[in-house]
């Protein structure tokens, strides 16, 4: 039940990035068109092989043999419930949506929000964290031959973006803006080691 709740939290967090949800957020800006959207996910499982309670570090050996340390923050209320041999299941998702905003006001922005949920004290350890970042960047050049645009972000970083929609490529001009919404979500659940 707890594992299902955590995976549902990840799915809901990644849905916040769908273009439909993004369009609802920006309904007051009718000149926004999708440029590109995508999603990727990674799942993994492993077994706890060591626990450093003082530093709140758990060593996990993945099912493919890789070993890594995971620092568990103070928000995880059930750290003391973890035991060597417990199974750890994790799912990470990243979704990205890009949209074109015509005639931007040359204001670049980078806004980040985070939401998290953790198992209540006494429940099996686990939790989910989602981060949503919205970046507004200026279009500084357009390469119609290669279907790319060059944008400059709020921290001065310049990147090239491939535009998949020919209609958007036809309309985009230097001075427009690209709005990027990136959502990262991570859910972790723990299954107790089998009794011996």
Dihedral sign (CA 164, 167, 173, 176): negative
CB 89 within 8 A of CB 191: yes
User: Is the model's pTM score more than 0.75?
Assistant: no
Q: pLDDT at residue 48 above 90? A: yes
Q: Of the ranges 34-38, 55-59, 84-88, which one carries the lowest mean pLDDT score?
A: 34-38
> C-alpha 187: how far from its chain's center?
11
pLDDT, one tens digit per residue, over 158-175 is: 888 888 778 888 888 898
C-alpha distances (whole Å) from 31 to each of 122, 168, 178 are 50, 11, 11
φ, ψ at 76 (rounded to 5°) = -75, 100
What pLDDT does 53 receive?
93
Label residue 151 exposed, middle or buried (CB < 10 Å: 0-12, 13-18, 19+).
buried
- Reading the block at residue 91, the tokens are 């799912």
Give 178 or 52, the one with higher predicted confidence: 52
What pLDDT does 107 receive?
67
CB 150 within 8 A of CB 160: yes
Under DSSP, the state recorded for 196 is: -
8 dihedral zone (left: phi>0; alpha: psi -120 to 50; beta): alpha
């Amino acid at each position: 039940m707890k594992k299902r709740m955590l995976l549902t939290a990840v799915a809901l967090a990644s849905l916040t990035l769908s273009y439909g949800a993004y369009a609802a957020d920006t309904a007051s800006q009718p000149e926004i068109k999708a440029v590109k959207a995508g999603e990727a996910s990674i799942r993994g499982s492993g077994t706890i092989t060591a626990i450093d309670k003082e530093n709140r570090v758990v060593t996990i050996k993945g099912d493919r043999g890789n070993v890594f340390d995971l620092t568990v923050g103070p928000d995880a209320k059930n750290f003391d419930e973890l035991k060597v041999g417990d199974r750890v299941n994790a799912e990470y998702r990243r979704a990205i949506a890009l949209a074109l905003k015509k005639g931007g006001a040359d204001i670049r922005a980078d806004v980040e929000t985070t939401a998290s949920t953790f198992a209540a004290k006494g429940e099996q350890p686990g939790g989910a964290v989602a981060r949503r970042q919205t970046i507004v960047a200026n279009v500084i050049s357009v390469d119609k031959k290669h279907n790319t645009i060059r944008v400059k972000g709020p921290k001065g970083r310049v990147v090239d973006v491939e535009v998949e929609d020919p209609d958007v490529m036809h309309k985009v001009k230097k001075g427009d803006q690209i709005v990027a919404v990136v959502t990262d979500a991570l859910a972790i659940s723990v299954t107790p080691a089998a009794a011996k």
